Structure 1
Amino acid sequence: MENTLGLGLVRQPKTVLFGPGQRGQLGLYARGFGTRVLMVTDERMATTPEFKAMHDDLSAAGMKISIYDQALPDLPRQNVIDATAPFARGSIDVIVGIGGGSCMDLAKAVSVILAHGGDVRDYFGEFAVPGPGIPIITIPTTGGTGAEVTSLAIVYDDENQMKMAIADAHIAPAIAIIDPELTLSCPPGLTAATAADALSHLVEAYTARPKNPTPQQIATQIYVGKNRITDMFCTQGLTLMNKSLGAVVDDPSDLAARSDVMFAAYCAGMAINTTGTAAAHAIQSPMAAIGHTPHGFGVGALLPYVMRFNLPYCTSEFAQIGQTLGVVRPGQSERDQGRAAITRIEELLEKTGTPMELASLGVEETHFDQIAASSVKATRLVLNNPAPMTEQAIKALLARGVAGDRSWWEKP
């Protein structure tokens, strides 16, 4: 668990614009790419006054506008097929993805197809996109996924019944416009679930395995380990979550708290774009097929057990999180500082309403073999985790989670 290279590395959009009301600059920025724009969003967002105002702003900028407003959660491959079908390659100058993670991931996938053709499956994996796509502007409406800045598009392949990823620097958004006012209408349940997701990103990124990559690995792999710059983003994000997550849950109209949580989610996105996520996300994906729990609550429910699983392998990192969260006492050992950090993270998760055990998500012992076997197939995530992820270890971790055993066990 040491970055012996002293490496600092992030991949990021060319421009990030943050602040209340900044969506009003969309037309100005989009016009810089051409005159033909495709707006990608979901059915709910397309009916809002905010969407209409952004549409009118693009129109006032002299742009010819097309709209696809059928994006679904857990982005299905069919969405990509349907969104690209009306357009020839090169017929769109810029794509604007407005909404949650699925909407923004759809914009990235559409960008690839409209630039290079083929099926989205042709680009699953790392660095499979042959060149730049159509420029993308991302505008998130939740404070959680961080997809507005990542080089990933997660697509559910219905035929293979698996979430797959396009992981490529060529799909990084050109511009991210992050406007906290757009989260004010986000339903309380979705607000809480996406905040839990962002919190898990920050924890998993800060405790991810440093990989000391070679130049060749940096050129061919998205996830090249935690490093000095990702740690900086995680520290800022954790500080803001510690301060404002509870306030957002208590008062969803609190714009200052919304701004803090959205900035924390941005920080998390910047970090996981290089570190990747780890065990909680690897296990949650196959687990979601059982209880269909919202992603944020699923990873949040796993996090207490994943943190205990990883604590012996990254004790210093958890101690540093405890220091960032202001929960350590003078003279405490690193282990106790780490435990204090885990306890505080759990308090924040409980504030969001995240279930703190797995049985309430429909997970039973009969599911353990299936979940464990699928989890270890998420190789990119497994390699990020500080503790070795074997099928046996995952099954033992699931047993702790179903029992709700949050004692300080050393091994699951």
Structure 2
Amino acid sequence: MDLFAVLRAPSQVLFGTGMAEAAGRVAATHGRRVLLITDPVIAGTPGFGIVETALRAEGLDVAVCTDAEVDVPPAAVDAAVALGRETQPDVIVAVGGGSVIDLAKVTALLLAHGGALSDYYAVNSVPGPVLPLIALPTTAGTGSEATPVAVITDAATAMKMGVASSHLIPRHAICDPRLTLGAPTTVTAHSGIDALSHAIEGYMAAAEAPSVDLVLSRPQIGKNGLSDTLALSAAGHIAANLERVVAEGDDLQARAGMLYGSLLAGIAFGNSGVSTAHALQFAVGAATHTSHGLGTGLLLPYVMEFNRPARPDDLAALAIAMESPDGDVVGHVHALGQRIGLPASLAEIGIEREDLPKLAEASIGFRRLIDNNPRPLGTLQLERILDAAWHGEPARLKEEEAVV
């Protein structure tokens, strides 16, 4: 493939301890009326207080919405949009994890263009810019502060759906490690391994022949030079800090390293996309009601092993970036998951072996993700990956490859 690169990202990224205090001055560049979106837990934290104080210190009119919930249910969207229509904000500020920022994205979309969210499920169907959005993440995981995607719960089907458009990328990402200090251990672990899956799947995304149509018709365009550079750096920072930050949640240096890695991974996969671990997680998560990060982190080493024949050089580069023992990056990722408390297998989270075919069938429907895998996938291949994960043994895929 000819070298080519695409970079779509926030117009401004402010990273570092103390940067949350910039929220007021940044918001004031867009007008006087602010819609501040968070969830009920984050609303009571010191970090949220820093942001709200900074906004009010600039004399801004601030309306606070604390209706955000996990997976962005329709009621949360309705409440945020209703408050927005009442207060007519010039800018939206989101303080929280991925669900909070995703709620802010779709609120900015609906306030700008109206209609129902289902009108925008088709990729790149957002017709133009949305309201300016300032995102301040409180977890190191989703990278939503830098991505063109919002994941919400569809009102009709109760299934997770994605809205994908470059117009959804926040205008400003303000990343202050202090805002992540209160994240619980489990949230830190699951969001952190999810960030690693963004970096690795973004780096190993399908490589397509570059064309104007490719880069202009889709917000995420597969493997490319800039996303590769960011993904490798992200993987290195996350590998160096994840276990440490899970063990010592008040370690601000480790929190900063994780937040930086998550940001880079978000920008990387925001341009390249992710693939099979995420597709499988949608089905596994729905069946087990386990967290998104737990699912992607558990499944990631199995997807990496399956893709080894197509991308041995990529795995070698990741091993170097992550300083993997003995150069075994698949084993490194698998062991890291165990050390931060992930289950060892799908069996441990209640999946029965006879359930694997229907999980594979459900996952194959996520074509945007499946088609971004470097090796062709059908339900048989997905079953092989799931079977290895059910046993808790990534090496089973290597052994099957040798037999084939």
**TM-score normalized with structure 1 length:** 0.94
Partner of 1:409: 397
RMSD value, Cα: 1.6
Counterpart secondary structure, 1:95: strand
- For 1:222 and 1:245, locate their aligned partners in 2 and report how far apart those are by CA, in whole Å: 29
Residues 196 and 354, structure 1, Cα contact 8 Å, conserved in 2: no
- Mapped pair 1:82 → 2:79: yes
Residues 388 and 396, structure 2, Cα contact 8 Å, conserved in 1: no
What letter matches 2:393 in structure 1?
Answer: D
1:387 pairs, out of 361, 375, 379, with 375
Deviation readout 1:204-254 (Å, 9 max, x if unpaired): 111111112311121111221111111111121122122222211221111
Partner of 1:70: 67
What letter matches 1:291 in structure 2?
Answer: T
What letter matches 2:197 in structure 1?
Answer: S
1:28 pairs, out of 25, 32, 37, with 25
Query: Alpha-carbon deviation of 1:8?
Result: 1.3
- Mapped pair 1:5 → 2:15: no
Partner of 2:331: 343
What letter matches 1:94 in structure 2?
Answer: V
Partner of 1:265: 262
Partner of 2:322: 325
Deviation readout 1:1-30 (Å, 9 max, x if unpaired): xxx221111210000000011100100000
Residues 90 and 115, structure 1, Cα contact 8 Å, conserved in 2: no
- Mapped pair 1:175 → 2:172: yes
- For 2:394 and 2:37, locate their aligned partners in 1 and report how far apart those are by CA, in whole Å: 42
Partner of 2:244: 247
What letter matches 1:358 in structure 2?
Answer: L
Query: Alpha-carbon deviation of 1:81?
Result: 1.6
- For 2:253 and 2:378, locate their aligned partners in 1 and report how far apart those are by CA, in whole Å: 43
What letter matches 1:180 in structure 2?
Answer: P
Deviation readout 1:176-204 (Å, 9 max, x if unpaired): 00001111111111001100101111111
Partner of 1:162: 159
User: How many aligned residue pairs are there?
Assistant: 400
Partner of 1:128: 125
- Mapped pair 1:358 → 2:346: yes
What letter matches 1:246 in structure 2?
Answer: E
- For 1:143 and 1:14, locate their aligned partners in 2 and report how far apart those are by CA, in whole Å: 20
1:307 pairs, out of 280, 291, 304, with 304
Deviation readout 1:292-330 (Å, 9 max, x if unpaired): 11111111111121111111111111011112223476x
1:145 pairs, out of 142, 146, 151, with 142
- For 2:284 and 2:291, locate their aligned partners in 1 and report how far apart those are by CA, in whole Å: 11
Partner of 2:50: 53
Query: Alpha-carbon deviation of 1:408?
Result: 5.0
Residues 89 and 115, structure 1, Cα contact 8 Å, conserved in 2: no
What letter matches 2:289 in structure 1?
Answer: H
Partner of 2:93: 96
2:357 pairs, out of 353, 360, 369, with 369
Counterpart secondary structure, 1:176: strand
Counterpart secondary structure, 1:313: coil
Residues 90 and 114, structure 1, Cα contact 8 Å, conserved in 2: no
Moved more, 77-86 or 61-70: 77-86
What letter matches 1:148 in structure 2?
Answer: E
Partner of 1:397: 385
- For 1:26 and 1:300, locate their aligned partners in 2 and report how far apart those are by CA, in whole Å: 32
Partner of 1:185: 182
- For 2:289 and 2:88, locate their aligned partners in 1 and report how far apart those are by CA, in whole Å: 37
Deviation readout 1:349-384 (Å, 9 max, x if unpaired): 222211121111221133223322221111110111
- Mapped pair 1:223 → 2:211: no
Residues 19 and 179, structure 1, Cα contact 8 Å, conserved in 2: yes
Taking a change above 3 Å as real, the CA distance of residues 327 and 187 of structure 1, as seen in their structure-2 partners, is closer
Q: Which runs of 5+ in 1 are unaligned?
A: 330-336
Residues 385 and 397, structure 2, Cα contact 8 Å, conserved in 1: no
- Mapped pair 1:200 → 2:197: yes
- For 1:82 and 1:162, locate their aligned partners in 2 and report how far apart those are by CA, in whole Å: 20
Deviation readout 1:319-343 (Å, 9 max, x if unpaired): 11112223476xxxxxxx5xx1111
Moved more, 79-88 or 283-292: 79-88
Taking a change above 3 Å as real, the CA distance of residues 217 and 39 of structure 1, as seen in their structure-2 partners, is same
- For 1:216 and 1:102, locate their aligned partners in 2 and report how far apart those are by CA, in whole Å: 31
- Mapped pair 1:19 → 2:16: yes
- For 1:210 and 1:5, locate their aligned partners in 2 and report how far apart those are by CA, in whole Å: 10
Moved more, 18-27 or 383-392: 383-392
